[in-house]
Amino acid sequence: MKFLIIIGGIILVVVGGLYFFSPSSIATITNLPSKGSDIIAFGDSLVEGVGSTGGNDFVSVLSQKIGQPIINLGHAGDTTEDGLARIKKLDNYNPKVVLLLVGGNDHLRKIPVATTHENLAVLIANIQSRGAVVLLLGVRGGLFNDRFGKEFEDLRDTYHTAFVSDVLDGLFGHPQYMSDEVHPNSAGYSMIAERIYPVLVELIR
């Protein structure tokens, strides 16, 4: 029975990836295909990999899976406002795809949702102005009442980004996947990488 559940989960991931990347949906992603060369992950402690052992953060795992380097520009504690202050770091690269994962600290610090949305919009527009594809990675704005779900979907639809919703879905409350209350352990980051991989691999073909 457990085997059938695992197989069913794999099928759902594959089918979901095929649906997301139908020919019509690919055509709507801004800057795809990008002429850039660098794959970059930009965001907070989840990007940095806090809670994982060396080389087991989701960025490193994804890099191994795609066989290409991914530049890690994660910085623990960053809010979306901090992200705006650091976005010029992209000036040092020629971004092709930027994985954008930030917003969780906004929720923890009770920053207004409207402010988070506005900051994310500016970050996305800045990245797209560089000719890069944005792969927007969603997080929840609350365990029981998700204040961010619609916000991330609106940003996806407005800016035509690639998108993976709530990368932490199913990890909270499960100690086998978490190193503390908010950060995954290596097993949890591996699950995040599995969720992102089918989307990312289509963007770098």
**32-69 residue pLDDT tens:** 999 999 999 999 999 999 999 999 999 999 999 999 99
Structural domain boundaries, residue 127:
2-203
pLDDT at 140: 80
Kindly indicate the confidence band of residue 145, based on its pLDDT and cuts at 50, 70 and 90: low
Rounded distance between C-alpha atoms, residue 134 and residue 41, angstroms: 10
Structure tokens at 47: 């990007």
What predicted TM-score, i.e. pTM, was given to this entire model?
0.87
Long-range contacts of 58-61 (CB under 8 A, 24+ apart): 58/167, 58/189, 58/190, 58/192, 58/193, 58/196, 59/99, 61/189, 61/190, 61/193
CATH number of the domain within which 104 lies = 3.40.50.1110
pLDDT (mean) for 111-136: 97
For the chain, how many structural domains are there in total? 1
Q: Which residues contact 93 (CB under 8 A, 6 or more apart)?
A: 38, 40, 71
Backbone angles phi, psi at 98, to 5 degrees: -120, 120
pLDDT at 6: 38
Q: Which residues contact 145 (CB under 8 A, 6 or more apart)?
A: none
pLDDT at 41: 99
**Roughly what angle, to the nearest 10 degrees, separates helices 2-20 and 186-203?**
30
Burial class (CB in 10 A: 0-12, 13-18, 19+), 31: buried
The DSSP H or E segment spanning 91 is: none
